[in-house]
Amino acid sequence: MSTTLDQVAPGQRTTIARLTGTGALRRRLMDMGILPGVEIEVLRAAPMGDPLEYKLRGYHLSLRRAEAQLIEVSS
């Protein structure tokens, strides 16, 4: 069973396993440094639950929940 990034609780760290998106969205995620093997930490969610804030490669990144669902992670 695979877990997606949107299911990881704030305060936890995980490693990106693969991207399931396609086309321009996949390329945009990869350009932001979201690549397999990269460690990512979930910092917090906005009050209504969207977007989510992450820390990876030394910078903070906000993603919509729909975008985070395209990123599979390993425990």
SS (H, E, C) 23-41: HHHHHHHHHCCCCCCCEEE
Residue with tokens 């877990």: 3
Q: Which helix (H) or strand (E) holds 68?
A: helix 65-68
For 7-62, what is each residue's pLDDT tens digit? 999 999 999 999 998 899 999 999 999 999 999 999 999 888 889 999 999 999 99
| Full-model pTM | 0.87
pLDDT computed for residue 19 by the predictor: 92
Long-range residue pairs from 22-30, CB within 8 A, at least 24 positions apart, any chain: 25/67, 25/70, 26/70, 29/67, 29/70, 29/71
Give the CATH number for residue 22.
Answer: 2.30.30.90
> Between these two residues, 28 and 2, which has the higher pLDDT value?
28
Indicate the number of domains in the chain: 1
d(CA 29, CA 71): 9
Domain that holds residue 20: 3-74
pLDDT class of 1 with cuts at 50, 70, 90: low
